[in-house]
Structure 1
């Protein structure tokens, strides 16, 4: 009888690895400051949706990262000529990701594109569920192009770095003006 020798795990340990360890709801908040009067409004509210992504390396574990996608949905309506907040929902959907042997230059893209794309469907579901349970109609949070969002963030950071360098150069050269 021949022994089963498996050399694949040694090769896999040296190759790039990506795994979702856990996806969880980190925080959820719902405010309806003008309830129950808001349920009597006839006009459809104006909806505003904002999404942001944060990532951190978990200090107590090598190759583990937490990525948080925060969604804020605000609904405002006019009542008696004044704008009122119908509701404000903020949810933070998070995930813990194992990322090993990924080239350092690719890590920001994985944390800023791949991980949020995995988390976002859970965020959408939780926001919709929270609003439905509060007696409000669900809000559909559309698809997000996390790649475009990441590219925009990188561009903004580059412009801020250039502005900071220019300001520092002006100060060092004495061309800065005091008011």
Structure 2
């Protein structure tokens, strides 16, 4: 079998926890609070080529839990994967990187966040399911709207 075979290739090379941070800046005093904390969860997706046909895709969750205006705990976890993606049309590559890869990574990230909460002495934070396809499509629409806006502002008066 030669290297110039045009058969599409999609393989997971490795899954790994790339970064993990836990902060409890107001402990131990805030641990005595009886007020229900507010939980804010943000997700971020990043992807970059590592080598020819090899991509790193990372999903980051930032979980901020506050009681009033004081932080109870802050967790930032970045779960990543290295994927081999070859001989795939460019229009499909974005979807694979923006939808398929994060869908494979996310369950690991959910487990890590839940586990670190428990190990820190708190009830687990369960990250809800994410529709990466809807997220990807919304980003595509936002990009198209921004491009249309940039085109409109660059038109001569």
TM band (smaller chain): over 0.9
1:142 matched to 2:94? The reply is no
Q: Deviations over 1:135-170 (max 9, x none)?
A: 11110001100000000111111111111111222x
**Whole-angstrom distance in 2 between the partners of 1:87 and 1:159:** 37
In structure 2, runs of 5+ residues without a counterpart are: none
1:118 matched to 2:97? The reply is no
In structure 1, runs of 5+ residues without a counterpart are: 1-8
1:57 matched to 2:49? The reply is yes
- Which residue of 56, 59, 64 maps to 1:66? 56
1:106 aligns to what SS in structure 2? helix
- Which residue of 4, 20, 25 maps to 2:12? 20
TM-score for the superposition, normalised by structure 2:
0.94
**Whole-angstrom distance in 2 between the partners of 1:29 and 1:76:** 16
1:14 aligns to what SS in structure 2? coil
The structure with the largest alpha-carbon Rg is 1
Q: Deviations over 1:35-55 (max 9, x none)?
A: 111211112201111111111
Which residues in structure 2 correspond to 1:82-121 (within 5 Å)?
83-121=69-107
Report the alpha carbon displacement of residue 131 of structure 1 after superposing the two structures with TM: 1.4
**Dislocated runs of 4+, deviation >6 Å:** none
Aligned residue pair count? 157
1:157 equivalent in structure 2: 143
- Which residue of 69, 73, 77 maps to 2:67? 77
**Whole-angstrom distance in 2 between the partners of 1:20 and 1:127:** 22
Report the alpha carbon displacement of residue 122 of structure 1 after superposing the two structures with TM: 0.7
Structure 1 vs Structure 2 CA RMSD: 1.6
1:4 equivalent in structure 2: none
Report the alpha carbon displacement of residue 14 of structure 1 after superposing the two structures with TM: 2.5
Higher mean C-alpha deviation, range 115-124 or range 132-141: 132-141
